[in-house]
Structure 1
């Protein structure tokens, strides 16, 4: 007897072939039979008449790491046909956690029933909520680096690199599928290329994936692509460029050069691919605008810089000098966690500035 039987649907297998009318039999979470199953019994039958049936989509770039514990039914993904999520992207993962690092602000603002510190305790906490999707996790480099040396703006010492290598190997041994970097965020932005190459070599040894939110997606994107390819050449790791784009309208003309760099690398045998989304907008933390020196350290240290008038003026001057787009009208504050500033949620950045 089957556990489930999906009947009367048209099956599209994801290869591009024409749909085929057939039934699907499932047993022990595995597709057991495909064909005419009218004479086969099942514990539950799902009528798919006049419907298309296809494999679930894999969301290769997700940030649902902790939100699946809050909303395990995952309606925003399930209703789109997503059945597997790859989390731990852009350098941020739910582990490893130590006294030296922290979860991203929007993650830390949630209430969790269980605490965790490594990949094993994280997945134990996650599986207790019975998420509706399958979950694959990468190790976030920012989380990894900060767990060893905090948010300092300096190269890691030999001993600190060894600690990172040990924690990375431990995570890979226990089910992680690769490493991600977020080189536009602290402390990833402070990381020299040599450090990333050493960690990527470990990923290559495990046949994992190195996924990167690169250092620059705007006017210096070609340099970022070259850096990512250099990591692949030095480590042998499979490369996934996250949300590939040329950010800023004045940089759209660079896309052909970007694609040529990737295609040339692939022609040379480098395993590099990319994912992207189909709209000309992005979503990230507003502190991405801060110069590197202003983003170093704990949050209270960063806030102290912003509250100091002279330092704040220096920061503003650097931000204005570094931006090629005068697009403050196009930046919308999507969410705010500090109570007194919640009134700015949903407003343009220029509107919020005029009210302060």
Structure 2
């Protein structure tokens, strides 16, 4: 029994966790709904319930604007496409009665239907390929008479419009399919679909303000039917049914908000069909390609399985229903004033509900990110924050429970040096990232960044991705803006321009300044230029991260430079992808770390990040610090001390893509030339054509890599991309857990997790990430430490890892059981 409400409000009577303030949801809902009404002249009703308790109900506007009839709670609206779920329920009832099967050919039941290979399941899931009927109606049907389902069937029989695609090949929303579905119901049930739904669904559930109605019926059976309208030049004009509306199945049902909540509760209690039959409605459809379509039987699905929803829009009506399958929430929004924005409204309301729902993760070993030993325990999250952590938490009524099955739960991994942003808006689910357990990436590295950053933040807001994104301001980006791409030192005036631009980016939320001092044009900057820019960071409590001037022959001087900046400006400094990339330095990782330890003892806040590979990826020109690309001796030095012809792999070569995938040794043998000659010739061609290129070079000793990773102030990074040719973009974090932790035992599991979480957060200046603590952001990773494994290699550089079982970003699942979940909860992380 629903609880009564006063003045259209209901008290929030459920528990949402130890620190929740339930009344806050009512206030937020009321503010949001009234804001829509005031800003957009929205006319409609909003109802939010949990199980059988209405939490909020409000109606604002007119049921008939021409007569100025006020809208009251509980009036019936035209549901438009929200009606489709009633049609599929009718089909499910017939299936349970063994009068049809979902995979029956439609022709078996529907005389006059001529399309081969289309099943009832195809109709329900919008995968039939049937073209939409509206344009055909306009061109071929008499406009002065009412159009019916049987008219539609005859029209498709006579005209035989071709399918848009082969049945089962694609998802494409088709109202035609649902009109055919209503005809199937009529043929099988022996009565009109409207009558069957009334007899088998509406009346048994006692839905007093729910009914089919179209213009082919003599009258509508409810005196308070809400009429659709639209605002034109400040005046309300009718926008209601017209002659096409003699059809039924794709819409033309009416219901009140309380009836829809009652309907949802009936589904929850399996009053119409069995639980097993109803579960079919919420399963994705497998397309012939193997991909999944997340539309069930009259319901849009979320990949995480937490909620289902459907929108509807026709004439003046704009509606949606959202059902939280685990928390028991129902959201019903019905509008009759043509004010659209359903997707935005649905997203706003879902996010609001999510902030109050809780999830308890049980039966896990907690690696809290601090480096402390693992503890058996549980964690509760609410919205996008961790609410409680403990050995055994008291259950909350109706909350979601995730059984961790004895695996390890840790904070989400933070990639402090990432280039995954290059393709993130084209590949928003970012499987190569989330399958590693990464929940936050830090971009703007090696001197290059989005500019201005405010545009990146705006794009992330409008086009979110699966993970959080933070960014540095790139030195090379600022330099080009201030002085063009000049290969010289900057003047004092140009440095001042760069300082102004850097301050602007810091105001926008940049973490600090990132330099790429081996790359153009940063290689031409003086130490004084970098120092002057770094002083700007001090004002903003910013940080300095650097691909230092040399990772090989001038490593000592390059390290001294970053320590000098850290000492002079007194800001944190981080060495990007720290390495010893010259043969003469192999085996000397301890010496480098001693230098850094001494600096830390002197008060210099120096840290580093490291990726777990012996080969790097960059341009061919990076190995020429003097930028003399005709110097054979410099080329020979590069191919003996810095890499080898066998170790230089052509990853990308725009002038001749047939060279990609070969080594320099392969090319030299094929041409019958010395490797250094071929090397310089490749560079010459690239420079002449101003083309893109990159190489992957084996250049480090694996023992050194391990020691640099094990340094207490080194965190893990990838330096990778989504679609790159280097496996680090898809495999770095699992490789550390597999190779350096599990197989080599360079550090224990808690320390490995610290390097991926709290240390990374500390090194980036993040204050609410990296630990399993109440109040921290609910970025989480559930993984199996015994099986976590990287699969990316030089042959398959984007192969996904295994052993990362589940990943949450801002409290929402983005990865589970080897698949992305379709959720895109990533946020901009600003300083």
Query: 502, 527, 534: which is aligned to 1:200?
Result: 534
Q: After the TM superposition, which of the residue ranges 29-38 and 319-328 deviates more from structure 2?
A: 319-328
The structure carrying a bigger helix percent of its residues is 1
- In structure 2, the residue matched to 1:121 is 455
| Residue 34 of structure 1: aligned partner | 389
2-side partners of 1:166 and 1:354: how far apart?
52
For residues 57-107 of structure 1, the C-alpha deviation after alignment (integer angstroms, 9 at most, x for no partner) is 111111123322122212222111111111111111122xxxxxxxxxxxx
| SS at 1:275 equivalent | strand
Cα contact 1:5–1:42 (8 A) shared by 2? no
Quick check: 1:288 aligned with 2:644?
no
Deviates more, 1:23-32 or 1:9-18: 9-18
2:635 aligned residue (305, 315, 319): 319
CA contact (8 A) 2:434 2:467 kept: yes
Answer yes or no: is the 8 Å Cα contact 1:9–1:50 preserved in 2.
Answer: yes
- Following TM superposition, by how much is the alpha carbon of 1:43 offset from its aligned partner in structure 2, in angstroms? 5.2
Query: What is the aligned partner in structure 1 of residue 656 from structure 2?
Result: 341
- Using the TM superposition, name which of 12-21 and 153-162 deviates more: 12-21
TM-score by length of 2: 0.36
Root-mean-square deviation (Å): 2.1
Correspondence list, 1:43-82, <5 A: 44-82=400-438
Shift in Å, 1:14: 1.7
Shift of 1:277: 2.1
**1:65/1:94 contact within 8 Å kept:** no
Contact 2:566 2:573 in 1 (8 A): yes
Residue correspondence of structure 1 range 1-356 to structure 2 within 5 A: 1=16, 2-35=357-390, 36-42=392-398, 44-95=400-451, 118-290=452-624, 292-293=626-627, 314-320=630-636, 324-325=640-641, 327-336=644-653, 338=654, 341-355=656-670
Q: What secondary structure sits across from 2:411 in the alignment?
A: coil
Please give the secondary structure, in 1, of the residue aligned with 2:649: coil
> SS at the partner of 1:40?
coil
Partners of 2:397 and 2:479 in 1: how far apart? 53
Deviation at 1:292, TM superposition (A): 4.5
Asked if the contact 2:476–2:515 (Cα under 8 Å) also holds between the matched residues in 1, the reply is yes
Checking the alignment, whether the CA contact within 8 Å between 2:537 and 2:543 is kept in structure 1 is yes
Taking a change above 3 Å as real, the CA distance of residues 42 and 181 of structure 1, as seen in their structure-2 partners, is farther
* Conserved 8 A contact 2:623-2:638: no
SS state of the match for residue 595, structure 2? helix
How big is the shift at 1:355? 4.5
Q: Could you tell me whether the CA contact under 8 Å between 1:66 and 1:94 is conserved in 2?
A: no
2:595 and 2:450 mapped to 1: Cα distance? 33
> 1:143-190: per-residue Cα shift (whole Å, max 9, x none)?
111122122121111221111111101111111001111110000100
Structure 1 position 249, deviation (Å): 2.4
What per-residue deviation string (whole Å, max 9, x for no partner) do you get for residues 179-238 of structure 1? 111110000100000000000111122111101111111122111111111111222221
Runs of at least 4 residues off by over 6 Å: none
Q: Deviations over 1:17-61 (max 9, x none)?
A: 333333222113001122334521355432222221111111111
2:220 aligned partner: none
* Cα distance in 2 for residues equivalent to 1:345 and 1:15: 43
Number of residue-to-residue matches in the alignment: 314
Contact 1:291 1:315 in 2 (8 A): no
